[in-house]
Copies of this chain bind each other. A is one copy, B any other.
């Protein structure tokens, strides 16, 4: 095998109560990545439909991931990476994570599947660090493992796969403004109130229990963020309006990753369609253009195409 084309999905990190630890994988949108072995050394990156991302492998998240894997494998050749980017950069649904995870997945595939999924996340984290300025795996883990994941620990890296509820659908409301994860991280206070932390970890514990017990009512109560969301609100257009519009038919809504996208988790496709309609009434009114996306939870993560 010298070439592989893969479907690399978007993902939602944080999920309100699980800042930097919780995430889940989406079916839509996804990037298409073709990675092929080339006879010359080095990494060549082509992005077919997006001009804003650097293609120099030093500055593109794919580069350092590929270099690290090549070094570990003592790989003599190089890779050509071609991306059809459907996950908008800076949208808050894991655009850079997809590129980093896709690179790790594909190179592993093309070189004989020597690495575990956990090791793939570790390689991909090298790319994520470039994009966000912090080592984190909350988007990468669901893309590589599928479904819902918990990054229990970064050092050492420990990822727990959680039950993925088949009934869950998600509406993503993406305002077409770009928000760099780096910038969204900068405004967050490094100190927090113990009282709020207790509130937050009570909710995270409850969210995880809700996945195991398929308790949507409980899940609904736990999708709440008393620490990060209040600080990032000002960066997210129409946040309160969209959350309110979604609330009748959704389980819960919050900032997706560092934003500016908002996720709304729904039970069943019918409810998700109602939520999408309700949000559309809000977003049609304003000056900001929106991409509204309806997606199922992706329980497997990256898929090979053909």
Chain A residues in the interface with B (C-beta under 8 A): 18-22, 150-153, 158, 160, 162, 188-195, 197-206, 208-209, 212, 218, 221-222, 227
A153 CA to B227 CA in the complex, in Å?
A: 15
| Contact flag A194-B189 (CB < 8 Å), given A152-B221, A209-B160, A212-B212 | yes
B192 touches A153 (CB 8 A): no
Residues of chain B lying within 8 A (CB to CB) of residue A160 = 205-206, 209, 218
Residues of chain B lying within 8 A (CB to CB) of residue A208 = 205, 208-209
Residues of chain B lying within 8 A (CB to CB) of residue A198 = 19-21
Minimum CB distance partner of A228 in chain B: B194
A202 CA to B151 CA in the complex, in Å?
A: 7
Residues of chain B lying within 8 A (CB to CB) of residue A19 = 198, 201
Number of copies: 2
20 more contacts with CB within 8 A, not counting A21-B201, A204-B204, are: A19-B198, A20-B198, A22-B205, A150-B206, A152-B202, A152-B203, A152-B205, A152-B206, A152-B218, A152-B222, A153-B221, A160-B209, A190-B194, A197-B200, A200-B201, A201-B201, A204-B205, A205-B205, A208-B209, A209-B212
Residues of chain B lying within 8 A (CB to CB) of residue A18 = 201, 205
A191 touches B194 (CB 8 A): yes
Picked from B150, B151, B199, B209, the residue with its CB within 8 Å of the CB of A150 is: B209
The 5 A-B pairs at the shortest CB distance, nearest first, are namely: A152-B206, A212-B212, A201-B201, A197-B197, A21-B202
Picked from B162, B192, B204, B218, the residue with its CB within 8 Å of the CB of A194 is: B192
